[in-house]
Amino acid sequence: MSTKVPKCVNTSELAELINLHLSGSDTDIKNPSWKVYDSSISGRGIFAARDIKEGEVIFRERALLAGPTGKKNSKLNTCCVCFCQLFGNEETMLCKLGCSMPVCENCSTSERHIKECTTFRQWKPKDLTKINPHSLRIVTVMRCIFLNEEQGKLLMSLQANGDKYYRAEVQRAAACFECFPKSPDILEWFYRTICVLNTNAFEGRSNVDNHEVFVRALFPLAGLMNHQCLPNATHSFENGETIIVRAARAIAKDEEIVTTYTHILWSNLAQK
Ligand SMILES: C[S@@+](CC[C@H](N)C(=O)[O-])C[C@H]1O[C@@H](n2cnc3c(N)ncnc32)[C@H](O)[C@@H]1O
């Protein structure tokens, strides 16, 4: 992927890039019930292209970037590739080739893992005895290296709210390796990808074959949904890498499809 940050694309170019991302998946792009349009809430959004019934699946989308992640003290026993549950102690869950990623036996020889494994081994992981949550968290970000040109352009076309604390994520990951990339271009790509992830990605629990995993995943279409406190759509993970967006109530043609970025039953500062 080129490391040049493209110029901002307009909304119809973004819609085209999203169609390219969805083509080949089981998302209906010939006759979709949604359309990408400028929003009066903020920037771009998704709108109903026709009347949508309550409970209807609006779309399913496969992630552009995804990976297992963990919170403090959470279990990290998940394969980085297929999200299956790993057993044994942490050392035995790690790839035998020394890349420091937890991976199952089947995926350890997959084409996908081999290229990522080669990259992590070039960075020289410092500790091969346990799963480090910081190097696990950078896996989703590192995957931007393997996107093709259109996918890279799509990634860079998504809103990226900057925050100085996001650089710390790169620094914490860098501390896990002897030879983490130092090139300013690559570091800028990683930083920008983290900003895109933190603005648009979904982080949450997913169930993969009865194994609960904590996933961080970027869905460019679903990520365009703006927030409303009373949303008309809900989302859930179908597996580690697929999201389903459903109508929470009937949505009229041309109405914006919105979700909530918070949990409806959480209180806010105004509600004591
Ligand atoms: C996931 S993106 C949504 C898509 C975004 N509108 C775009 O043009 O790419 C999240 C960002 O959209 C904006 N946003 C979403 N909902 C909003 C709302 N209700 N009020 C103000 N800004 C909102 C905020 O800038 C937020 O960081």
pLDDT tens-digit series, residues 37-54: 999 999 999 999 999 999
Ligand 1 atom closest to residue 225's alpha carbon, by position in its atom list: 3
Model confidence at 245: pLDDT above 60: yes
Q: Are 25 and 237 in contact (CB under 8 A)?
A: no
Distance 248 CA to ligand 1 centre (A): 20
pTM of the model: 0.92
Cβ of 10 less than 6 Å from ligand 1 = no
- Residues 6 or more apart in contact with residue 100 via CB below 8 angstroms: 94, 120, 125, 127, 128, 131, 132, 135, 176
Tokens representing residue 142 in the block: 């590192």
Going from N- to C-terminal start, the domains of the chain cover: 11-62+219-257, 65-217
What residue owns the CA closest to ligand 1's atom 20? Answer: 41
Average pLDDT over residues 105-123: 97
Model confidence at 122: pLDDT above 50: yes
> CA neighbours within 13 Å on the CB side: how many for 193?
30
Please report, for residues 114, 192, 208, 270, the alpha-carbon distance to residue 142 in angstroms, rounded to integers and kept in the order given.
14, 12, 23, 39
Instruction: Report pLDDT for 136.
Output: 92
Average pLDDT over residues 136-165: 93
Instruction: Report pLDDT for 246.
Output: 97
Domain 11-62+219-257 class? Answer: mainly beta
> Which of 47, 159, 166 to probe ligand 1 with, by most ligand atoms within 8 A of CB?
159
